[in-house]
Structure 1
Amino acid sequence: MSVIDVGFDFSGRHVVVTGGARGTGLEIAEAFRACGARVSVTGTKILPSLYDADLDRFSYHQLQLASSEGIDSFVERIGQVDVLVNAAGARLPGAFDEHEREFLMHSARLGLVGPQRLTQQLRARLCSTAHAGGGAVVHTGQSLDWLTLTLPPAEAEAEFRSLTAQTGRAWSRLGARVNAVLAASRPNLPAQSSWAHRENGGAVITRLRPSATAADLASITLFLASSGARALSGQTFTADQHV
């Protein structure tokens, strides 16, 4: 696994990466660690040794985002958080019957479970960070997946962008920023070979070259969490990704 050194310094910051035990989440966690951060990662498995990656260099926490109680318990024990990266996909318990699953999916849509609830539960800590640039939340495409549980992809993405813009504007007045980075490999996001900017629901959309990778997404996440991006909040960056 490669991490691009883009010169950021997150020394003294506590970064939480949900879904950081594998995939893009792990790449992002590695990038923050390489830049000096203390990194906590979450996964759904009981022990970190059950994952293929060596997670000993992180603080590992089991977290079931489909459980409001599980989220509350995690928030109670995690302590101060300076940066939150939501990279955990939507995984619903297989033991649930049809009605329970439907209730849970609508609960995720309303923000009663999932990354929205976790973000709100950590708001006070993120807004109280003493580090330059304030606290930062970066949503990834995995956060969008929670909305696709109940909405068609295009509608889910429109709502995701709108929520990011609204939350970003509100939190920027409180001392924290909320932004997002998505991979343009989704069917309704065609790849483009050059940089382009346009306005869409208050969010700036940036398309990267088609060769963007998970490491590129990690670099964008580092930038959005850095003090250099202190003026950015409520924005969604879109990168074409080939992993």
Structure 2
Amino acid sequence: MEGKDPVAKVPRRYWDDMWLTDALPAPLDFSSGVRVKPVSRHIRDFVAAHVGHLGPAPTVVEVGCGGSVWLPYFRKVLGWRAAGVDYSPRGCALARRVLDRAGVDAPVHCCDLFAPLPELIEAFDAVVSFGVAEHFVPTSRVIGALARFIRPGGIVVTMVPNLTGWLGALQKRLNRSIYELHVPLTPASLAQAHADAGLEVLEAGYVSTADFYVAIADGKTDEAQLGPRLALKGMRLLSKVLWLAENLSCPVPSTARLSPYVGCVARKPG
């Protein structure tokens, strides 16, 4: 694949600072009777619908695994042979702590996804990423880099925040500097990036109903922020109402305006 070299919209120190914490994220638990955000179930179902067809114990690498709660779930619950890759040493350390808490043995490799360790190239059946691809331009170049981790016939599962909907509009008002670290992508543009990387697109679409808790405010309390903050409170309340409907078995469709994520699945030729 030819084209411009990828340019990161996020400096490395951003990731190191993000993972400068002693707190571990809550583990995923989809057991009956356990209250969980429907968003997490939708992400799980989107990924598992495709990776699950690769065999009883597919090899799966999560790129951008810093502090990941998905690695232990993939290995312990779904039985996938999971591994992680992250650019930040702090992110890798946190991912290992999360795995240790779950009693899961899975390797975590600290390396640049554009310069992977030789033993990781074409070593997996699937590569998944949550919130990675939108931090680079052009998007097709990072997708091509992700595809290097999988064998011919393997799949790339890419999930990015939906910043072309109301979430993006609010994020731009609440904290423009955070918004500008991302490339807003639609299902069509994300699918095109996978196609431009030489992959066969299997599915692309909006994922889940709503989750305005992922919006990040800038900490300011001036009057200019009053409107956006009130809007954020309202949208978070709407998120809870939609989650309640989902938990009461009332399906809520994914939409361009409200869905928190955009997902794409594509196959590597061969």
TM-score (norm 2): 0.45
Provide the TM-score with structure 1 as the length reference.
0.49
